Structure 1
Amino acid sequence: MARGIDREHRRVVLAAMAGTTIEWYDFFVYAISAGLVFATQYFSALGKDALILSFATVGISFFFRPIGAVVAGHLGDRFGRRAVLIATLLLMGVSTVLIGLVPTTASIGVAAPILLVLLRIVQGLSAGGEWGGAALLAVEHAPAGRRGLYGAFPQIGVPIGLLLANGALALAAAVTTPAQFLVWGWRIPFLLSFVLIVLGFVIRSRVAESPVFEEVRRTRSRSSLPLVPLLRHHGLLVVLGALLFAANNAVGYMTTGGYVQSYATKTLHLDRSVVLVAVMISAVAWLVSTLVGGWLADRVGRITVYRIGFAVQLVWMVPFFALLDTANAGLLVLALVLFSVGLGFTYGPQAALYAEMYPTRVRYSGAALSYAIGAVLGGAFAPTIAEALQSSTGTVYSVCAYLAGMTLIGLVATFFVRDRRDVPLGQSRETVSLSEPRLLE
């Protein structure tokens, strides 16, 4: 699959992948820590509701993703993808390092959870603007017939980020006692983000601007306010794109949002390190299936791969929770690995599909906004909803029903989006009528 990516383009996909990896490492370290640490260190005064509120702080940041998407989309469509990507990387990294320095409630009282939530909001603003730019940087540099594969590389930054986040927390848990981990061990992965910021900045600062955007700049056809024509002419596409991602995101946030880690350790009483390693293994499976999904999307089409992925998610939903409930480490790994296949197939084609849905003048705004709204609808409170359903019903199969419903929504949405893998992305795209009925036909 890597064949056909020449030296010139290798730097581009590396920059897109490295940036999203660092961004999502930062994002996931918080999400996982919400289930393992923050309930006791920052929200313990709430008693039995501490864990639910801790997961809610994961979701709060999602409401600020659309704001980040609008701002980054406007700047990205007006001034270019590259500068915005550097800014979002720095914003995420600094906020993550600062989270690692926030004292606990026992030290500074109510100011502790307030600071934690404020910094999580900053992470949400950054995440809202990051993905669209990284995806477009890769896809707009891609040669004809390779946009699905190129677009899969920024996508694998998510499972790599999950892998690194779980790995860092697993290592911190392994070298500390349980008491030490709760007091200071969990802070190490947050502080390590400083090293990743420097690395990501160096990589991204050396990448050229998207050639598609340069064409827009040369012809002076940039939109002064991209959000207005986007919503006026392509508002339905923004909604459909959001529903596609919501179905993937709700399921994915069972691990990336910390729910599975919390359930396996607190309810099933599996060792924390064992659970983190199991999630790391599943992240590798997610990475591979994402690349395969992007590669396959160039051959059979984006929508076909999406439908295969959603079908796998749906079929595997009940067996996943059945294996999880065995509290067996080996079966937990099996459940998570197969769970990741459907995620990869509904994630690999996403960058190419979103780029092809919108014209160049509003592409960053459209892709970023669809992604951000989908994250709100899907992943924002998925761990919170899952925890509340399990607590109120006494069974994880209520969570299974919720995720199956989200998957069905995504599957239905695929029948209303047109596969445009053969459409050029440059200025010639602007000469084609882009009314929504044509895009949906």
Structure 2
Amino acid sequence: MFLGGEWGPGTAMIMEWSKWRREIASAFVQSGYPIGVVIATIVNILFLTYMGPSSFNTYGWRIYMGTGAVIAVIAFVIRNRLLESPIWSKPRTNPLTLLFKHGGAQLGAQHTIHGRPTNNLLFHIPNILGFPEGNRRSEYNTSVMLISTIAAVMAVLLAGPLALVINYRWLIIGTLAISLAYAPIALILQPSLVNLVMLAFIENFAMGARTIRTDR
């Protein structure tokens, strides 16, 4: 809920204030989510390394979850220093009225087509598949999470420059089509670290390009 609540207005603020091309600004906006996952995973690894699995599972996970308060304080300080963007302040008509009156037909389509159909699922794939067995499972899951998310960050950031060359609609549709075709291989037929990372890389191009139309 917190991610959803901050992401919408945060995206609008960046896209409306930014002097960059829409394609680059969109990729920058979308990189925040996977970068945050990378940081959280690294912090998790540090806690597990220095506390040990036994202490971490007993009480350490509470401290780990509490580190999120640091980011919450930073977000609170930034939010209280923000100014409304000129694009928001300019219209005399209520911006919500303009949105639903002139752009309502595209509103649902954009959230559907520009979504991330496999992104959140991918982060939980190791637990769903249940491999490998035994004590190595937790370490393997963490490795898949970290490497896949780093691949996602790379794809999101590359989506901006690539959208300068390829129409962003075709970039989104093409990469999602490839992801859907590749998903059965990576998730069912040949589930492996390499295939899961490749799936994360391919499907996150769409994530990096999904907010390009925000300021149009």
Normalising by structure 1, report the TM-score.
0.44
Q: Match for 1:240 among 102, 105, 109?
A: 109
- One-letter amino acid of the structure 2 residue matched with residue 352 of structure 1: I
Deviation at 1:305, TM superposition (A): 1.1
Q: Is the 8 A contact 2:31 2:157 kept in 1?
A: yes
Q: Is the 8 A contact 1:166 1:277 kept in 2?
A: no
1:160 corresponds to which residue?
35
Query: Aligned ranges for residues 119-138 of structure 1 at < 5 Å?
Result: 124=1, 126-138=2-14
Q: Is the 8 A contact 1:312 1:341 kept in 2?
A: no
Q: Match for 1:262 among 117, 127, 139?
A: 127
Aligned residues: 213
1:337 corresponds to which residue?
197
Query: Aligned ranges for residues 113-124 of structure 1 at < 5 Å?
Result: 124=1
Counterparts of 1:199 and 1:242 in 2: how far apart (Å)? 28
1:47 corresponds to which residue?
none
Residue aligned with 2:90, SS:
helix
Deviation at 1:156, TM superposition (A): 0.6
Counterparts of 2:114 and 2:212 in 1: how far apart (Å)? 13
Q: Is the 8 A contact 1:173 1:186 kept in 2?
A: no
Query: Aligned ranges for residues 195-274 of structure 1 at < 5 Å?
Result: 195-216=70-91, 220-223=92-95, 226=96, 230-231=99-100, 233-246=102-115, 248=116, 250-256=117-123, 259-263=124-128, 266-269=130-133, 270-274=136-140
Query: Aligned ranges for residues 43-58 of structure 1 at < 5 Å?
Result: none
Counterparts of 2:131 and 2:155 in 1: how far apart (Å)? 30
Query: Aligned ranges for residues 39-438 of structure 1 at < 5 Å?
Result: 124=1, 126-143=2-19, 146-216=21-91, 220-223=92-95, 226=96, 230-231=99-100, 233-246=102-115, 248=116, 250-256=117-123, 259-263=124-128, 266-269=130-133, 270-321=136-187, 322-324=189-191, 331-332=192-193, 334-353=194-213, 355-356=214-215, 425=216
- One-letter amino acid of the structure 1 residue matched with residue 19 of structure 2: P
Counterparts of 1:268 and 1:155 in 2: how far apart (Å)? 31
Residue aligned with 2:118, SS:
helix
Unaligned runs of 5+ in 1: 1-123, 325-330, 357-424, 426-441
- One-letter amino acid of the structure 1 residue matched with residue 70 of structure 2: V
Q: Is the 8 A contact 2:27 2:160 kept in 1?
A: yes
Deviation at 1:342, TM superposition (A): 2.2
Deviations 1:384-432 (A, max 9, x none): xxxxxxxxxxxxxxxxxxxxxxxxxxxxxxxxxxxxxxxxx4xxxxxxx
- One-letter amino acid of the structure 1 residue matched with residue 146 of structure 2: M
Moved runs in structure 1, 4+ residues, more than 6 A? none
Q: Which has the larger radius of gyration?
A: 1
Q: Is the 8 A contact 1:283 1:340 kept in 2?
A: yes
Deviations 1:242-276 (A, max 9, x none): 22144x2x3011234xx224235x45324312321
Q: Is the 8 A contact 1:310 1:346 kept in 2?
A: yes
Deviations 1:157-193 (A, max 9, x none): 1111211222222333333444433321222221111
Counterparts of 1:251 and 1:214 in 2: how far apart (Å)? 37
Deviation at 1:127, TM superposition (A): 2.9
Q: Structure 1 residues 268 and 283 mapped into 2: Cα distance closer, same or farther (>3 Å)?
A: same
Counterparts of 1:260 and 1:335 in 2: how far apart (Å)? 12
Counterparts of 1:275 and 1:176 in 2: how far apart (Å)? 19
Deviation at 1:206, TM superposition (A): 4.2
Residue aligned with 1:156, SS:
helix
Query: Aligned ranges for residues 28-43 of structure 1 at < 5 Å?
Result: none
Counterparts of 2:132 and 2:170 in 1: how far apart (Å)? 37
Deviations 1:281-329 (A, max 9, x none): 11111111101112222332220210221133123213312342xxxxx
- One-letter amino acid of the structure 1 residue matched with residue 18 of structure 2: A
Residue aligned with 1:346, SS:
helix
Residue aligned with 1:344, SS:
helix
- One-letter amino acid of the structure 2 residue matched with residue 199 of structure 1: I
- One-letter amino acid of the structure 1 residue matched with residue 118 of structure 2: V
Q: Percent identity?
A: 24
Counterparts of 2:128 and 2:199 in 1: how far apart (Å)? 16
Normalising by structure 2, report the TM-score.
0.84
Counterparts of 1:309 and 1:138 in 2: how far apart (Å)? 25
